[in-house]
Amino acid sequence: MWKRAKTLILIFSFFLNAGSPQAPSDWVIGVDADLSLGGASAGQAILLGVRLAADEINASGGLLGRKLRIEARDHGGIVLRGIENVKELGALSNMIGIVGGIHSNVILSELEVIHSKKIPYLIPWASADELVDNGRHPNFVFRLGGRDQYVGEFLVGEALKHGKRIGLLLESTVWGRSNLKALKKTLALRKIQPVAVEWIDRADSNVNVQISALQRKNPDVVIMALNAPEGALAVNTMTERGTPFRVLSHWGIAHENFFKLASASLKKMKVEFFQPFSFSTFQNNKKDALLKKLKEHLPQAENGKIDAASGIAHAYDLTLMLGAATSKSKSAERGKIRDALESLAEFKGVACSQRPPFTPQRHEAVDKGCFFLAQFSDDGKVIPSPLSPVP
């Protein structure tokens, strides 16, 4: 399977860079994500966001007199592959930064290499708090996305609108543990304990035991932090057992892979998920321009069907931030680019980010005021939930 996946990525990379000469002197931005397995649709969305931003940078003259090109690497959600990807990309003398994917456990395992090679590492999706709160000084990790602490606060607030009996269904990884910490802390502030905490392993094939345990506790709401394959398995098992819980989910399921696997169950139960961005929010010139570009690359975008839109927008903005920091530093030295990311006076992108996006004390750019709940329409579009209007 891995050989087939590598072949697919080589083919994709060929088309990605077709028509763009890859001179050794080009600056390189790496992409390190799942591009072929359970998180592939989200990974491909992130890669597309990087591509569109790189095209824009090159159309404006490039960076410091050179073009920017993309080197994409597929880790398939596997830690050791991620580490090798970062080592390989980090060895490129003309590489100015890496954009990561959706898997917190992979990035956590890469932190030692990231910092030993002084690589500005930009996260558009993976949300474990420890990725940014990593104890490194200087810290080379920056994020525009859903930090678990913030998402937990948001999901608990939404869950309490439906009752105080809250069950948790979490992935048994560093990401799941990060969510447990955030959710329990937020619930404790309201003097509430979860009625159940159930764990699902990555690549589990049967979760009847976990769903049965939730069923016995009869929660008003289940807060879920699972990625697409396991999330779909959990939701499908709920419907098969006749226990269509109301589910509020982290954004690990917010892409096409989940919808394909769980679409029949979604007609029988309410599954909503956290989102920090939508093309249906207030419009601005940059968002309109990005949407126009997307319609050129994704025919389905004409009908409003944009898979993993947040991943596209966040990766797009982070790539432009990296370009701005490189220009500001007037250098391709990674340490200087890192410093410049902390001192961008203002950045106006398409996603909801703070101004300035980063500071020496804060490497989280997302604006919490833009969070909302979404759901899948019958044809697979991500749409705002009726009772959770987009800000």
Q: What is the pLDDT of residue 12?
A: 46
- Hey, what long-range contacts does 347-350 have (CB within 8 A, 24 or more apart)? 347/317, 347/320, 347/321, 348/284, 348/286, 349/286, 349/313, 349/316, 349/317, 349/320, 349/321, 350/277, 350/284, 350/286, 350/287, 350/290, 350/313, 350/316, 350/317
Tell me the pTM. Answer: 0.91
Q: What is the pLDDT of residue 304?
A: 75
How is 53-104 classified by DSSP, letter by letter?
HHHHHHHTT-BTTB-EEEEEEE-TT-HHHHHHHHHHHHT-TTEEEEE--S-H
Q: Tell me how far apart the alpha carbons of residues 13 and 329 are, in angstroms, rounded to a whole number.
A: 29
Q: What is the pLDDT of residue 169?
A: 98
The residues, any chain, with a CB within 8 Å of residue 356's CB and separated by 6 or more, are 343, 344, 345, 346, 347
Q: Tell me how far apart the alpha carbons of residues 323 and 46 are, in angstroms, rounded to a whole number.
A: 17
Where do we find the tokens 């980063």? 358
C-beta separation of 95 from 140 below 8 A: no
Q: What is the pLDDT of residue 301?
A: 80
N-terminal to C-terminal alpha carbon distance within the chain: 42
The residues, any chain, with a CB within 8 Å of residue 97's CB and separated by 6 or more, are 29, 30, 119, 120, 121, 122, 322, 334, 337
Q: Tell me how far apart the alpha carbons of residues 77 and 103 are, in angstroms, rounded to a whole number.
A: 6
**How many C-beta atoms lie closer than 10 Å to residue 386's C-beta?**
9
Q: What is the pLDDT of residue 19?
A: 38
Q: What is the pLDDT of residue 166?
A: 98
Q: What is the pLDDT of residue 125?
A: 97
Q: What is the pLDDT of residue 346?
A: 83
Q: Can you list the residues of the chain whose pLDDT is less than 70?
A: 1-24, 282, 387-391
Q: What is the pLDDT of residue 5?
A: 45
Kindly give the pairing relationship between strand 166-171 and strand 221-225: parallel
Q: Tell me how far apart the alpha carbons of residues 305 and 188 are, in angstroms, rounded to a whole number.
A: 39
Q: What is the pLDDT of residue 282?
A: 65
**CA 168-102-171 angle, 5° bins:** 25
**CA 138-142-143 angle, 5° bins:** 155
